[in-house]
Each structure stands twice: as C-alpha cells, then as structure tokens.
Structure 1
Amino acid sequence: METDALIIGAGPAGLFQAFQLGLQGIASHLVDALPHVGGQCAQLYGHKPIYDIPGIPVCTGAELVQLLERQIAPMQVPRHLSQQVESLQQRDDGRWLAQTTAGTLFAARSVFMAAGVGAFVPKALKVPGVDGLLPEQLHYHPLQLDMASGHTVLVYGGDEEAVNAAIACASSCDGPQSSGGSGAAKTYLMHRRDAFQAEPQQLARLRQLRDSGAIEVVIGQITEVRHAAGRLGAVQWMDGEGREHLLSIDMLLVFLGISPRLGPISDWGLSIERKQLVVDPATQATSAAGIYAVGDIVTYPGKKKLILCAFHEATMAAFAAAEYLQGEKPLLQYTTTSAKLHGFLGVAHPGAQ
C-alpha cells in the first residue's frame, strides 16, 4: 500500500496524529498490535476517569478514544489492527518499506512512531491444543462482545476486564438462543482463585449473576484445549487439589493481561536512550529522515509522559512532516476560519453560499 504517512500505534497519540496530518492534507494509515484502537488508554484506563484533558473536565479512557475517533472520522483513516510492524527499511527513492506480522506491506513517504512504551501485546494462553482453534472461537481482550450471543462461553481471567466481559456475556447470552431454540447459552468465568479485581459495583453485579446462575464461576486453570478439526469442544482444567476436569464450551475469551514490548523498533537503527526514541522537540524528528515519534516512546529534555503533551507533539510532527513532504513550510491556519481546513473536516465554511 502506498501512503503519505504510516502511523505505528493507534492510542490517543496516534489517533490525534492522524487528525493533525489530515489537517495538513496528508493521508495516513494506522497500525496497532491490539485488536482495537485506543492503545494503553483503552486497555488500562477504559473505565477509569481522566481529569487533565483540556476542555473535558472528566472522561474515561474509552470515552476519550471515542471522541478522538469522531474527530478523525472525516479523514477516513484506514486501520490495520491485530498486527505489528516487524520490519522497516528505506528504499532508494526515500520511501520507507514496512511489513507487518500479518503480511501487510506499506511504502510510506513518512513514518510516525506513536507506540507508547511499546506494542501492547495480549499474553497468550499457552496450553496444548490452543494453536488449533479457529480465530472466531478464541479471542484475546475483545472490547465488543456481540459475537458471544448464543454461545457457551468461557471467560478466562480474574481482572476487571474479565469480570466486565463475563457480566456482558451473561447479559447478552442469558436466555434461549435466538436461532434454533435449543435452550439457554451459558457463561463461565474461570480464575485460579475465588477473588476478582474489579470495581465494587462490578463485583456486586457478579455476585448477583452468580446467585441467579447466569454466570458459573470455576476456580482452576486451563491445562488443555480439546477440539476436532479446529472446532472447539471443551477445555480441560485443574482445580486447587490437582484434579483434572472437562468443561464443554464453544467460545473462549482470554484475559491474561497485556505486556508492552519495544519489539523490532530497537533493530531499525534509530537513536534510542533507555528504550525511548531520541527526537528533536521542535519537529519530533528522529535520527532518520522522514521518521517522527510522539508520545511515551520519545525522550528529549523536559519530556513529560502526559496525553496532552503527546497531542502537542503530534501537532509539531505534522507541521514538520508537511514541510518535509511538500518542500515548503505550511501556512498556519485556524479551524475557526480556514475554508481549506473546513474542507478536510467536511464542515460548511461560514462564508460559503
């Protein structure tokens, strides 16, 4: 894919980077290792309040991501999720050739690193049989749970995300299946001990659903996945006494946490200090021409790891990239008055007839 800009990382910094590039008339693509946009903000602070976003007294991480998505909607930025850029090389014509773990290939005139502290990769379930499952039967940290309706679901994990997922599945799956009428779907929640990390109201809701039978809590650990021709049939699990049991299910949702990895970025020849990319704060340019970096992944004198600082850095990087790509400094225009910017945003200019 040919593109003016490739943004690696779809957290708040990456999303706002796409917006600022769009205001400069620069088309971009977003790549992220997670199966959804929002990065660390959605994954770790999805339901927690944030108080230091200008003009927004309070919002959750998920709400901030939704607002940023609304903001870039006019730019129609393609997303390439559940994949990580594994190689980055400069071609003779100056473009950067990037290939992802999914085999997607980009030829980008500029690259923007917005990968936070690295790519957030879900921790994989490593037991016999798991590699043979079909993709629609095994999901890591899904945000949308509509696909669970009508299935016998096992939510595996004990943190807030797992609890919320089990509650959501029980709410959507409890009752007769909409097609086939073969009885009620079932939601299981499995954790190694009968203690869950979640907000008090969520724990109270979990107790209600346990008492009603909508959620069955299983205390143990998965030791094997059973399937036939890729079709999930059951998991084998071990209780605290070391006894093995079988649990029949047809969908597995895994919440074992996520971990940031700098990954292949360290092999791309960019100047790095303490696992952070060194940039010029005036342009956010890295040591390689045409590559910029913003957010928690960068370092420079006075750097602060705050979302609002990343927004400023994305603005500086967009102006610098516009000059790099277009060969001249872009004019400073204001979204309140610029007909050109109104065109990018898809809004009517006040002076238009």
Structure 2
Amino acid sequence: MTDASSTAPIDTDVVIVGAGPIGLFAIFQLGMLKICCHIVDSLEEVGGQCTALYPEKPIFDIPAHPRIDGAALIENLETQAAPFHPTYHLNQQVTGLTPRPDGGFDIETSTGTQIRCKAVVIAAGGGAFGPNRPPLDGLADYEGRSVFYMVKRREDFRGKRIVIAGGGDSAVDWAVSLPEVADKVYVVHRRDKFRAAPDMVDRMAAWVAAGKLELVTPCQLSGLDGADGKLTAVRVKDLDGNERVLDADILLPFFGLAAKLGPIENWGFPVDKHTIPVDRATCETPLPGVFAIGDVAQYEGKLKLILQGFADAAAAAHKIHGIVYPDEALHFEYSTTKGVPGEK
C-alpha cells in the first residue's frame, strides 16, 4: 500500500526510513514477529539505488541467486514483504523525530505526514543521494535528454554513440554491458588504470579488442557540442591540453554520488561520514528505540554488503519485538516451521 501523504496522525509499531533492499527486508523480518511498519522514502519508487541507479546491473552475492539484477531483487523483496501489508510514504523525507513521554516517537515528513510509532529503523544507505556532476558549461541543458547519471533501461541506448566518463565500478560495469546494444562506446578516464573488479576490467578489454569500445585515456571531459538538449559530440582533453572531439549522442558521467543523511544528522546521536554507530548485536543507536541497519550502520567488522544489511535487519527486529511487546517473551521459530501469512 502506498500513501503519498497524510495530515491525520497515523499509529503504527515501527517507521522504517528508507525503502531500499535493506528497508524492504526489514518489513519481512518485523512482519514475521507480528510488527507493523510504515516506510518513508525520498524517492518516487521503492528500491533505493537498486531502482534509481542499477535496475539492470547484475548482483552476484545474493544467497541462492548466482546472478540477479537490481530490479528483480527489489521485485522479489516487495513480494516477500507484501503479506505484512506495509504502507509506503514515497517522495517525501523524514524531517522530524520527537521522543514521546511513553517511550515512542512522533515522526513528521516533508509533506506533513505525521506518524506515531514505538521504534524507528533507519535503513537510509548513505542517505539521500545525487550525482557528482562534471563541471561542463551548458551541462544542465542536456540533462535528462542526452546526459544521464543512471541507466534504467539498456534498450533506451540501442544504436547510440555513447561516451561513458569515469573509472569506477559503475563506469566499467556499463562499459561491459552497453556495447551489446550501442553503436559505439567510448570510456573516458583520467588514468589508464580502473578502480573496478579485475574480471570486469578484463571483460571491458575484450570489447576493446572486438572494436565495439574505445578507451580514451588519460583524458578528461572538456566540453559538449549540440543544441536543444541533443548532443552531437563530447570534447575531451589529454594531460597536455590536446583536445579531441568524440561524436556522441549520449554522455554517461559516472563520478559517484554525493550522499547526505539530511535531518537524520540532527536526531541526537553521533554521525561519522554518513554512518551511525550502533550496538553490533542489536543495531540500536545511542538513542534508545532508534535503530540503524545496512550501509548507514557502523560497528566493528562491518562489511558494506547487502547480505550483511539483511542480517542487520533480523538483529534489529528481534530487539524491537521487546519494545512493541514488552510483556511477551520471544519464542523464535524458523520460517520453515512458522510459515508466512497467506502461505499454505
């Protein structure tokens, strides 16, 4: 269920801040303990970066899925959460958190939605994010028409001449994928070496050998040519200032994301480099009743992997059970014996 906004206060057990893969799995973990959730996310769709940036990017470290793309992972997580009837408040940001005398919290969002809850789970990844834009004159005129910071559908780029700028995982991943549909792909990077998985770099080199991809290194973007939002060429310069013109229809600058936790940073607990310190066993923050899971949570030995975020969600859910049901002992049952609502 999706509720764009609400002015009347809503009562629920838990508010989850962030509808990425970890937030979605938290719905399931809490639901299995009979805990109801409302989820708030600043994006228009659930899925976080998997939906917004990497819907067709393959993921290889999800248990029992040797390979699954971002969109399919989110679809499966939504299906897994659906039996617990979560309510999504999308395209809005949590702006206020006020502790209540009874130990719960009053939550307010940027659209005026007010929610009363007993616990809060922050599953915000690195926070609200946006692309790092290259400093090119007239860039905004092409954004959304010829310049894109994400690839949602590979098919949209079929037959195009594409310039990919960057040297990290995203740049290399799409340099490996897009030659299958594009007419020509250039990869512009300021160094000859790439900061990506060696196997992917090798696969990129195979496209170079096949003549479908050209490495333009060491070079940097220097300008754009075109009109009315339609690119005709991308200009680059080498380290000596020599300029080259690349005939192009599309520019994909992959220079990382600028992430901010926003109002979360003012909730009364320490924040270090967009992460929140938590108790390793429970993922509870220094503010009792508020938990952080996934990439936003920091503790000794933390690995920034989706599968560890899933484990965080389970740990937090079991601690939250004692908050929502203080007079009930938690008799843990495996899903294989307990089942899921609606399953026969």
TM over 0.5: yes
For each residue in 1:252-276, what CA deviation from the matched residue of structure 2 results, as whole angstroms up to 9, or x when unmatched?
212223455444422x232226565
Trace 1:270-289 onto structure 2 (pairs within 5 A): 270-272=268-270, 274=272, 276-277=275-276, 284-286=283-285
Is 2:233 the partner of 1:234?
Answer: yes
Trace 1:171-250 onto structure 2 (pairs within 5 A): 171-173=180-182, 185-219=183-217, 220-250=219-249
Are the equivalent residues in 1 in contact too, given 2:18–2:39 (CA < 8 A)? Answer: no
Are the equivalent residues in 2 in contact too, given 1:236–1:247 (CA < 8 A)? Answer: yes
Partner of 2:41: 31
Structure 1 pair 273–163 and aligned structure 2 pair: CA distance change class (3 A): closer
Are the equivalent residues in 2 in contact too, given 1:156–1:162 (CA < 8 A)? Answer: yes
Trace 1:76-225 onto structure 2 (pairs within 5 A): 76=82, 85=93, 87-90=95-98, 95-99=106-110, 106-110=113-117, 111-116=120-125, 118=127, 121-142=130-151, 144-173=153-182, 185-219=183-217, 220-225=219-224
- Looking at structure 1, the residues matched to 214 and 65 of structure 2 have their Cα atoms a distance apart, in angstroms, of 35
- Looking at structure 2, the residues matched to 14 and 165 of structure 1 have their Cα atoms a distance apart, in angstroms, of 26
For each residue in 1:64-112, what CA deviation from the matched residue of structure 2 results, as whole angstroms up to 9, or x when unmatched?
996675244232468889x78473344999531123xxxx665444442
Partner of 2:76: 70
Structure 1 pair 222–281 and aligned structure 2 pair: CA distance change class (3 A): closer
* 1:242 to partner: Cα distance: 1.0
Are the equivalent residues in 1 in contact too, given 2:94–2:108 (CA < 8 A)? Answer: no
* 1:126 to partner: Cα distance: 2.5
Aligned alpha-carbon RMSD (Å):
4.4
For each residue in 1:159-186, what CA deviation from the matched residue of structure 2 results, as whole angstroms up to 9, or x when unmatched?
343122122111122xxxxxxxxxxx32
Structure 1 pair 168–279 and aligned structure 2 pair: CA distance change class (3 A): closer
Is 2:343 the partner of 1:347?
Answer: yes
Give the secondary structure class of the aligned counterpart of 1:95.
Answer: strand
Give the secondary structure class of the aligned counterpart of 1:270.
Answer: coil
Percent of aligned pairs with the same amino acid: 28
Are the equivalent residues in 2 in contact too, given 1:271–1:287 (CA < 8 A)? Answer: yes
Partner of 1:255: 254
Letter paired with 2:76: R
Partner of 2:302: 305
- Looking at structure 1, the residues matched to 70 and 278 of structure 2 have their Cα atoms a distance apart, in angstroms, of 26
- Looking at structure 2, the residues matched to 11 and 169 of structure 1 have their Cα atoms a distance apart, in angstroms, of 25
Structure 1 pair 27–117 and aligned structure 2 pair: CA distance change class (3 A): closer
Structure 1 pair 229–106 and aligned structure 2 pair: CA distance change class (3 A): farther
- Looking at structure 2, the residues matched to 132 and 329 of structure 1 have their Cα atoms a distance apart, in angstroms, of 59
* 1:323 to partner: Cα distance: 6.3
- Looking at structure 2, the residues matched to 285 and 198 of structure 1 have their Cα atoms a distance apart, in angstroms, of 33
Letter paired with 1:74: Q
- Looking at structure 1, the residues matched to 28 and 248 of structure 2 have their Cα atoms a distance apart, in angstroms, of 43
For each residue in 1:187-209, what CA deviation from the matched residue of structure 2 results, as whole angstroms up to 9, or x when unmatched?
22212244334445544443343
Letter paired with 1:153: I
- Extract unaligned runs of 5+ from structure 1: 174-184, 349-353
Are the equivalent residues in 2 in contact too, given 1:16–1:68 (CA < 8 A)? Answer: no
Aligned residues between the structures: 316
Letter paired with 1:342: V
Letter paired with 1:195: K
Are the equivalent residues in 1 in contact too, given 2:168–2:195 (CA < 8 A)? Answer: yes
Are the equivalent residues in 2 in contact too, given 1:16–1:311 (CA < 8 A)? Answer: yes
TM-score of the aligned structures, taking structure 1 as reference length: 0.67
Q: Please, which moves more after superposition, 144-153 or 306-315?
A: 306-315
- Looking at structure 2, the residues matched to 34 and 221 of structure 1 have their Cα atoms a distance apart, in angstroms, of 33
- Looking at structure 1, the residues matched to 205 and 121 of structure 2 have their Cα atoms a distance apart, in angstroms, of 45
Structure 1 pair 286–108 and aligned structure 2 pair: CA distance change class (3 A): farther
Letter paired with 1:135: G
Give the secondary structure class of the aligned counterpart of 1:139.
Answer: coil
Give the secondary structure class of the aligned counterpart of 1:272.
Answer: coil
Partner of 1:265: 264
